[in-house]
Structure 1
Amino acid sequence: MKKKIAFVVQRYGLEVNGGSELSCRLIAEKLKEKYDIDILTTKALDYVTWGNHYEAGIEDINGVTVRRFETEFPRNQKQFSKCTEEIFRKANRTIYDELEWMKAQGPASFTLIDYLKNHNDQYDKVIFFTYLYFTTYFGLQQLPEKSILVPTAHDEPYIYFSLFKPFFHLPRNIVFLTEEEKNFVHRTFHNQYIPNEVAGLGIDVPESYFSEEEFREKFNVHDPFIIYVGRIDESKGCKELFEYFLNYKKQSDNNIKLVLIGKNVMDIPKHSDIIHLGFVSDEEKFGAIAASELLVMPSKYESFSMAVLEGMYLNKPVLVNGDCEVLVGHCNRGNAGLYYTDFDEFHYCLDLIVNNTNIAHALGTNGHQYVINNYSWNKIEELFIKAIESI
């Protein structure tokens, strides 16, 4: 009889393309042949409000049972922003202030937490994705003795809240995505004694995707371009990326464009050299990456970055924010990209790659081999199975 495993994650669905949520879905689908898997999640699709979008309480997605629970308190973004500002301004904030912030952070689903508490005996192990959210913070405390935490942690202000100090000592096993994440969590919480694995994620590339010609024809992009893939958000470094790119264009006489793929939650400058394609299919996305000069990732706060590894897999050099240890680690271990910490470095690195075919080719070739060597699904599955079986 298969062991029954629950995955707890804030959102889940084919339309959900957030990093940790997608990671959860891919891993659950890879493990479904070995384990009987339930996904415990909310009815939210939108991470800004956590409003109840999905109607079905139970559904099957790619052979995995998904149990959805109401978000009792959808988030008001203005009120949440005010709450966040106040808690950072409050020098003498208490644990109660932080707990109120966690409730506002959401997605606040007390029915999901009650389900975990009342169905504890049904599950052999429970895997929680992302330390930051209500569902993980309160859910893991219901059955820590069965818990595996995939924290997707990075150096950001929230992780220093006092409520997380005991939390990171509760899981029976922790699965990190990178060595940098592991080192950061151990350095911050001194929980090295908890068994752990560094598993990462496998990279899924469609068997066929758009050729460069097909991509350029469909989207009318005929000049050379660099590409950003992900949520277009100030917290992802996109505001700085726009500023740097437009300053670069003022100082350069080339015709390179910046192509953006992903949902925007901030205003995008109206400029002929910035092209926003919105949400596209995987076949279109990989065709776009393959047609680009390089993939840029401006975020300071990444715990893994599938987009960077997808770019590497497709033999593209990457240009990343040098303030992100995880991204710098990928570049250095793979000898596959460059990184910047200010505009001058951004300008120099971008010029170096787009104007030197040999350097771009070498970085791209190195990156492809780095992904092949480290992020095959067979290896990732083995490490998750080891974590499940070792508790």
Structure 2
Amino acid sequence: MKQIALVVQRYGKEVLGGAETLAAEFAKVLKSEYDITVVTTTAKDYISWENYYEEGESFENDVKVVRFEPDFERTQYFHELNRIFLNGINTENFYRYSDAEKMLWRKNTNSIPISFQEELIKWQGPYSSKLYNYLTLNEDKFDFIIFFTYLYPTTYFGVDCINDKKKIIVFPTLHDEAHAYLPIWKKYRNCKLFFLTPEEKKLAQSLWGNLNGYVVKYGIEDKGYKYLNLNSNNEDLKEKYLIYAGRIDPAKGINDLIENFAKYKKEYPNSKIKLKLIGKLAMDLKSDKKHGIEIIGFVSEEEKYKLMSEALALVLPSPYESLSIVVLESFMVGVPVIVNGACDVLTGHVNRSKAGFTYRNYNDFKNAINKLLNDTDLNIKMKEEGRKYFLDNYEWTKYKENLLKILNEFE
């Protein structure tokens, strides 16, 4: 059986994160066809990179996992480097920058010495000399070495450990953020690149130039049929609410979401619609039942799908996404979406699926809610379109077939 190494910054059932989930799902998809080894660090927390798991080998869900300690935890030194690099750039609002402002930022990053860029990435963490040594010594064992996420040292320095560049595949999980404009990432052009959406590939081409890339999409096991109620409309809902699912964090646009929802409730004081937020709480935010805001926190997968399926819509205010699994899950259970139109990836999902709305301001946000509340036929149509989009593009068996086809072509 051929062997594949998956290199990712964190891994484990306690780990929450888009790229980490992608790596876990990739292992799940391929373990019946390939001998999979996950190469990662002992960290669980992406802020500190402190040790959590034991160093060494283990087996998790029938997948071999090899963990190595980072050389250091994140320190104030990184924050100082990052402050110098950003030079006043507001990362949370970078999506609001005009094309001209982004072009100027790109010009500025091109003048930053390579040594400074690499120092910034190294101290961002997790940086593990033991992990790099393992890759160097064990390259010959693997037919492919697949790296997840462009941003972290495990990928940036890891690809340099592999002599046979034909073995390397990188999942950039790239989105339009300030750090993506560093010119050092252009070295990934020499690798095979797997993209999750056409928009991600387009962004990579705009930043890195010509590249060898494939849009492989993503796969989710279809559990939506358990929760479907496609013929229902908003009048059938026990209670009307929007649902947010994911990390409850300012970086995910939560402050803007709360502000827009508060404006809506102020304009429509008799509306009984609520906003429910599920996921890990990473900011100072409390429930406000008087204004219909309910912080539920972390829930099981089953409860997540149940809450999604009974919502008027999933709302996703994040401006930075390379895929958005929760949008696909919402389509899976037959629920429309209201997403941040500043994110090209989310806009692409809405345009292709015809199962939701994008918004760039409060009026867009308000109009999306009102259309779903007041147009029964549209509501039902969007439920059907979202479910169809999921089945045609992101259902697990189709994803597996596509991945195996591409990997077989590489051999």
Q: TM-score, normalised by structure 2?
A: 0.87
**Residue of structure 1 in register with 2:240 after alignment:** 224
**Residue of structure 2 in register with 1:38 after alignment:** 37
How far apart are residue 386 of structure 1 and its match?
Answer: 3.3
**Residue of structure 2 in register with 1:74 after alignment:** 73
Report the CA distance shift for 1:80/1:353 in structure 2 as closer, same or farther (over 3 A).
farther
Say which SS state the counterpart of residue 119 (structure 1) adopts: helix
Tell me if 1:170 matches 2:170. Answer: no
How far apart are residue 348 of structure 1 and its match?
Answer: 1.4
How far apart are residue 316 of structure 1 and its match?
Answer: 0.5
**Residue of structure 2 in register with 1:255 after alignment:** 272
On the 8 A contact 2:287/2:295 being kept in 1, the answer is: no
- Tell me the distance in 2 between the aligned counterparts of 1:207 and 1:293: 16
Could you tell me which of 367, 379, 385 is aligned with 1:360? Answer: 379
- Tell me the distance in 2 between the aligned counterparts of 1:83 and 1:37: 36
Say which SS state the counterpart of residue 314 (structure 2) adopts: strand
**Residue of structure 2 in register with 1:94 after alignment:** 113
On the 8 A contact 2:7/2:146 being kept in 1, the answer is: yes
**Residue of structure 2 in register with 1:217 after alignment:** none
Tell me if 1:333 matches 2:357. Answer: no
**Residue of structure 1 in register with 2:201 after alignment:** 182
Could you tell me which of 304, 308, 311 is aligned with 2:327? Answer: 308
- Tell me the distance in 2 between the aligned counterparts of 1:222 and 1:80: 49
How far apart are residue 269 of structure 1 and its match?
Answer: 4.7
- Tell me the distance in 2 between the aligned counterparts of 1:55 and 1:206: 33
Letter in 1 for 2:10: R
Report the CA distance shift for 1:342/1:79 in structure 2 as closer, same or farther (over 3 A).
farther
How far apart are residue 264 of structure 1 and its match?
Answer: 1.7
On the 8 A contact 2:228/2:333 being kept in 1, the answer is: no
**Residue of structure 2 in register with 1:154 after alignment:** 175
Say which SS state the counterpart of residue 381 (structure 1) adopts: helix
On the 8 A contact 1:230/1:262 being kept in 2, the answer is: yes
Say which SS state the counterpart of residue 183 (structure 2) adopts: coil
Letter in 2 for 1:156: E
Unaligned runs of 5+ in 2: 89-107, 230-236
Tell me if 1:61 matches 2:85. Answer: no
Tell me if 1:50 matches 2:49. Answer: yes
On the 8 A contact 1:315/1:361 being kept in 2, the answer is: no
Q: Tell me the percent identity.
A: 40
Could you tell me which of 208, 212, 215 is aligned with 1:198? Answer: 215
**Residue of structure 1 in register with 2:104 after alignment:** none
- More moved, 89-98 vs 53-62: 89-98
On the 8 A contact 2:194/2:216 being kept in 1, the answer is: yes
Letter in 1 for 2:19: S
Tell me if 1:103 matches 2:122. Answer: yes
On the 8 A contact 2:224/2:334 being kept in 1, the answer is: no
Deviations 1:12-55 (A, max 9, x none): 11122311111111111111111011000111111111111112
**Residue of structure 1 in register with 2:8 after alignment:** 9
On the 8 A contact 2:223/2:332 being kept in 1, the answer is: no
How far apart are residue 79 of structure 1 and its match?
Answer: 4.9
**Residue of structure 1 in register with 2:159 after alignment:** 140
- Tell me the distance in 1 between the aligned counterparts of 2:363 and 2:224: 39
- Tell me the distance in 2 between the aligned counterparts of 1:381 and 1:197: 15
Unaligned runs of 5+ in 1: 213-220
**Residue of structure 1 in register with 2:92 after alignment:** none
> How many residues are treated as equivalent by the alignment?
377
Deviations 1:204-227 (A, max 9, x none): 344886899xxxxxxxx9742110
Deviations 1:168-187 (A, max 9, x none): 2221x211101111111122
- Tell me the distance in 2 between the aligned counterparts of 1:142 and 1:386: 27
Could you tell me which of 373, 386, 390 is aligned with 2:405? Answer: 386
**RMSD of the alignment, in Å?**
2.0
On the 8 A contact 2:4/2:35 being kept in 1, the answer is: yes
- Tell me the distance in 2 between the aligned counterparts of 1:262 and 1:55: 26
Tell me if 1:130 matches 2:149. Answer: yes
Say which SS state the counterpart of residue 259 (structure 1) adopts: strand
On the 8 A contact 1:4/1:36 being kept in 2, the answer is: yes
Report the CA distance shift for 1:51/1:238 in structure 2 as closer, same or farther (over 3 A).
same
- Tell me the distance in 1 between the aligned counterparts of 2:271 and 2:78: 43
On the 8 A contact 1:209/1:282 being kept in 2, the answer is: no
Tell me if 1:242 matches 2:242. Answer: no
Say which SS state the counterpart of residue 295 (structure 1) adopts: strand
Tell me if 1:344 matches 2:373. Answer: no
Deviations 1:64-89 (A, max 9, x none): 0011110221114x554443221121
Deviations 1:223-243 (A, max 9, x none): 421101111111111111111
Report the CA distance shift for 1:39/1:30 in structure 2 as closer, same or farther (over 3 A).
same
Q: TM-score, normalised by structure 1?
A: 0.91
Moved runs in structure 1, 4+ residues, more than 6 A? 207-212
